Amino acid sequence: MKMKIWILLGIWLTGAVLVGCSSHTIYLVRHAEKAFTPANDPPLTAEGKSRAQALMDTLSDKNIEYIYSTNTARTRATAEPLATKLGLPILPYATDTLWEAAKHFRKLRGGNVLVVGHSNTLLPLLDQLPVTHQKKTIPDSDYDNLFVVKVKRRFLRPPLIRLQENVFGELAE
């Protein structure tokens, strides 16, 4: 009987270590090129639609299981091609509590995450993850940034979080 208890305890501890040491990647992008009108919620331009397709091509094999977007036409349209291809819903997140969003994205289990945001929210969101980034601002004309945040959970230690700053699609002018 004691042997069975030790075996069960060993199996449980092995499972706890494996779950505790999981990892996932958070991909963060700004919405693609937007039209100038209507001013309050513009759609994507033709270039923006092309960039959204390029995002799909870039991330379609990256084990994305969650797609988050702010509640604007341009962010949802940026995420839509990938969401459609993968059969995933686009989940909303609010930009008024980025620290809560960052905490949620860090703690997700399973597959990887795409987060589509805005030029004025992505860098503060990276700060909340927290990672050190090279960019200090994202200009209005800059749509090609792909921030790749790797979150590695470690058993009984804080997660290890790393950032790679990349680009995708045609370079923004």
Q: Is residue 8 part of a domain?
A: no
Cα–Cα distance measured from residue 163 to residue 161, given in angstroms and rounded to the nearest whole number: 7
- Say how far apart CA 160 and CA 113 lie, in whole Å: 17
Number of structural domains (the chain) is 1
* Percent over 70 (pLDDT), the chain: 87
Q: Is 154 a domain residue?
A: yes
Whether 54 is in a domain gets the answer yes
pLDDT at 96 over 70: yes
Residue 44: half-sphere exposure toward Cβ, Cα within 13 Å = 22
In a domain? residue 101: yes
Containing structural domain, residue 91: 23-167
In a domain, residue 68? The reply is yes
The pLDDT tens digits of the residues spanning 33-62 come to 999 999 999 999 999 999 999 999 999 999
Q: Is the pLDDT of residue 125 over 70?
A: yes
Average pLDDT, the chain: 89
Q: What's this model's pTM, rounded to 2 decimal places?
A: 0.86
Give the span between the Cα atoms of 161 and 112, in whole angstroms.
Answer: 14
Give the CATH number of the domain where residue 43 resides: 3.40.50.1240
| pLDDT at position 15 over 80 | no
Q: Can you tell me the mean pLDDT for 136-158?
A: 93
Nearest to 152 by CA among 120, 106, 115: 106
**Higher per-residue confidence, 87 vs 5:** 87
Residue 34 lies in a domain: yes
Q: Does residue 5 lie in a domain region? A: no
Q: What is the pLDDT of residue 6?
A: 53
Tell me whether residue 18 is in a domain. Answer: no
